Each structure stands twice: as structure tokens, then as C-alpha cells.
Structure 1
Amino acid sequence: MESQSIYDSLTWYCPPADYTTSATTLTVKTAPSTDYWRKTHYGFIRDNGHFFNKHTEGDFEATVSFQGKYRDLYDQAGFMIRFDEKVWLKCGIEYYKGKRNASTVVTNDHSDWSVTPLNDMPEDGWFQLKIVWQRPAVEVFYRVDDSHEWSMMRLAYLIAPEEVKTVQFGLMACSPDGTGFEVEFKDFKVGPLSKAEQH
């Protein structure tokens, strides 16, 4: 019997026209003018990025590796955790000022944004993300090519009604200003909290 891929359990919110999956990988070509952002500084709201996700209940942790052909301002890829269009977090790499940056956006009706330049990351390096969800807190970590300890990107808080029992969680990619780019995800894993993460 053919083994099931983790991607078989996911569904698209704003699907891209061009994507492929295998047992272990997802490759996406983003569409132009796609993004997630709410209000802050720029004034606009966008809620049309590519988001391959499933509804998840309870605490969890997840990891993924990915590599993109970033070229235009704000090209981005990574994880997203979302209650609705007003409450969500996205994290990963964002292309800004000609550089790849470790990036996190936290939105509780208004978005914020933080970036850290990845000056030492090889051009062909694989960026690795880890996210730890212990509602209502979310921790985000990153490293490059298995060669470093995990570094914290963000500890954040998502405000959502108690009656909302599940979150949408999965992989995100957007091209707010450019013509689109290609990103490949691999080794996507979601599971219960490890003992080290149980606070």
C-alpha cells in the first residue's frame, strides 16, 4: 500500500495555479499581489496569500525545511498559524532590501513585523523553522542546514475567542510586490509537544 503524504491532509486557502507535491516535498510558484497584512503603517488589508493548511486542535510543535528563489521585494515563505483573517502569525524568510531575512509577522487585528538579516546563509542553504504552539502562546525558532542550534525568532501571543477550539496551521508563500517565485518545502512534520517544550 502506498504511504500517505502529510500533504494529503492539507487544503489550500487561496491556492496557487502552479504547485506539485511528492511524498516528502511541496513546490510552489507564487502568484503576484499575494500577501497577508492588516492595517499597520501601510494602511491596507491583504488576505490572499497561498496557505496549505489543516485545522488542528490542542498544542503541537512542527518543523520544516525550505529553499526559495527569492528575487523581488517581500517575496516570502514559511509557516502560518491562523484563527481567522484578524488573528494570525506568519514566519519564515522574507526578501527585503536585497537580502533574505528571518521574518515574523504577528497580527491581532493590526499586524507587526520583525526581521533579522541572514547575512551568513549560503545561497543554496536550507532554512529550517520550528514552531511551538501552546495556546495562546507561540514560539518560533530557526536554523540553517542542521549546522546550528535553534535560535529564537519570536515569542508571541494570539488573542482569539475561547469558543474557537481549532487553529489553521500549515505552509505559506506570498509575493506582495513581485511577479512570483518558486519555493520548495521538505521534511514537514507536525506532532505533540516534546518534553523539552512542555512548560
Structure 2
Amino acid sequence: MDGQRVIDWADAEWLNPPLRIERDGGELVVTTRDRSDFWRTTSYGFVKDDGHALLAGFPTASATEVTFVAQLETLYDQAGLMLRVDEGTWIKAGVEMTDGIPHLGAVVTSGKSDWSLSPVPDWLGRRVTLRASRTGNAVTLRARCEEGAWQMVRLAPLAPDADALAGPFCCSPQREGLQVRFNRFAQGPADASLHA
């Protein structure tokens, strides 16, 4: 993403601070609280809004990128990028442990959550980057592992006048103590087109 500027961790605000936060050079190491999650109603019947997200402004015609390494071990351990308008309108995209292997996926929530995912077994413990690009009435979510090719994750609606925030997130719905190393948090211009 040309024209990027790195966002200092101190220039964003925590929604639900995690158990521990440590600076390691330019990186941020985050440890999750017990049974933290983001979800609304669908299938499970509960509402959870206590996952950890470090959020900064996400204006129209911009893109936000988050790079991280996570040793996912337990069912539903997850880390990635969150976009948030309010408690009932948000998107999270990243890597999540499901059925014993990591999956690349997204949850789009507008009153109720949905969930889509695809297995990425070779991404475990490796550097992953998520990008959210906001144009018009939509956000395009892409991901890649290390320096590999970008993969389309999701195209989702986002109102052009929505006052949105974006940044790194993580949670561990089944335990305490997932540790995620966030390497980078940056913002730049939105992608020029939907397709590469």
C-alpha cells in the first residue's frame, strides 16, 4: 500500500484493554483476558463484546493494515483486524483456530453476526497481514501470509457516512492467555480497485 503511515500504538485507544500489554521495540505483545470475544446472537444466542481491539479513525477512501504473529492453540483463539462503528455494527477479520487448524475468516455484524472461513493450516505461527480498504459504501478485506500474494477475504457493506474505527484485535473465547505479537499498524489510501 503506497503512501502508508505507521500508526503509533499510543495514538490508538483500547476497546476492552487486554490482560497484559508489552512494548518490544516497535512491536506490541498482547495477552488476552479469559473468555474474551466479539459476537452477536446468531446460532449461539449470546452477545459478547469484551474482546480486545486497539482502534484509530478509519475514514472513507482509506485502508488500514495490521500485521501480527499468533500461536493459536485453543478452539476459537483469534487475531486480526477489527472495524467498528458501534456495539451492533462491526467487522472482524483474521486467523482463528477452528477444528484443530487455523482458518482465515471474517465476521460481519449488523445487529447479528455471520461467519465465513477457509482453512489455512500453513499460516500457523507465521506473520499475517490483514488489510481493510474503505471505498464508497463498502469495505474490501484482504490477507496474506509473510510476503505471499494477497487473498480476497470478504467484500462487505459499510455506510459511507459511518463514523468508523479500525485496528488490531484479538480474543480467546475458551481461555485466558492467548499471546499475540502485533508487528505493525498502518494506514494509507484505499485500494484503487476491487481486483488486483
Q: TM-score, normalised by structure 1?
A: 0.87
- Partner residue of 2:178? 181
Task: Provide the rounded CA distance (Å) in 2 between the counterparts of 1:22 and 1:133.
Answer: 30
- Partner residue of 1:169? 166
Task: Provide the rounded CA distance (Å) in 2 between the counterparts of 1:84 and 1:168.
Answer: 9
Q: Do the aligned partners of 1:5 and 1:24 also contact (CA within 8 Å) in 2?
A: no
Moved more, 41-50 or 185-194: 185-194
Residue 8 of structure 1: CA displacement? 1.6
- Partner residue of 2:156? 156
Q: How does 1:57-96 map to 2 (within 5 A)?
A: 57-96=59-98
Q: Do the aligned partners of 2:129 and 2:143 also contact (CA within 8 Å) in 1?
A: yes
Q: Do the aligned partners of 1:88 and 1:158 also contact (CA within 8 Å) in 2?
A: no
Residue identity in the other structure for 2:83: I
Residue 159 of structure 1: CA displacement? 5.1
Q: Deviations over 1:153-198 (max 9, x none)?
A: 11111358x4x4x21111111011123310001122111225456x
Residue 24 of structure 1: CA displacement? 2.6
* Number of residue pairs the alignment of both structures matches: 190
Residue 22 of structure 1: CA displacement? 4.7
Task: Provide the rounded CA distance (Å) in 1 between the counterparts of 2:64 and 2:57.
Answer: 14
Moved more, 167-176 or 134-143: 134-143
Q: 5+ residue gaps in structure 1?
A: none
Q: How does 1:90-109 map to 2 (within 5 A)?
A: 90-109=92-111
SS of corresponding position for 1:120: helix
Task: Provide the rounded CA distance (Å) in 2 between the counterparts of 1:58 and 1:159.
Answer: 10
- Partner residue of 1:128? 129
Residue identity in the other structure for 1:118: V
Q: Deviations over 1:36-91 (max 9, x none)?
A: 10010000001111111123333211222211121111011110001101100000
Q: Give the RMSD, CA atoms, in angstroms.
A: 2.1
SS of corresponding position for 2:65: strand
- Partner residue of 1:39? 41
Q: Of 49, 52, 68, which aligns to 1:50?
A: 52
Q: Do the aligned partners of 2:68 and 2:180 also contact (CA within 8 Å) in 1?
A: yes
Task: Provide the rounded CA distance (Å) in 2 between the counterparts of 1:180 and 1:170.
Answer: 20
Q: Do the aligned partners of 1:78 and 1:91 also contact (CA within 8 Å) in 2?
A: yes
Q: Do the aligned partners of 2:69 and 2:127 also contact (CA within 8 Å) in 1?
A: yes
Task: Provide the rounded CA distance (Å) in 1 between the counterparts of 2:179 and 2:120.
Answer: 19
Task: Provide the rounded CA distance (Å) in 2 between the counterparts of 1:90 and 1:135.
Answer: 19
Residue identity in the other structure for 2:171: C
Q: Do the aligned partners of 1:5 and 1:23 also contact (CA within 8 Å) in 2?
A: no
Residue identity in the other structure for 2:31: K
Task: Provide the rounded CA distance (Å) in 2 between the counterparts of 1:33 and 1:124.
Answer: 21
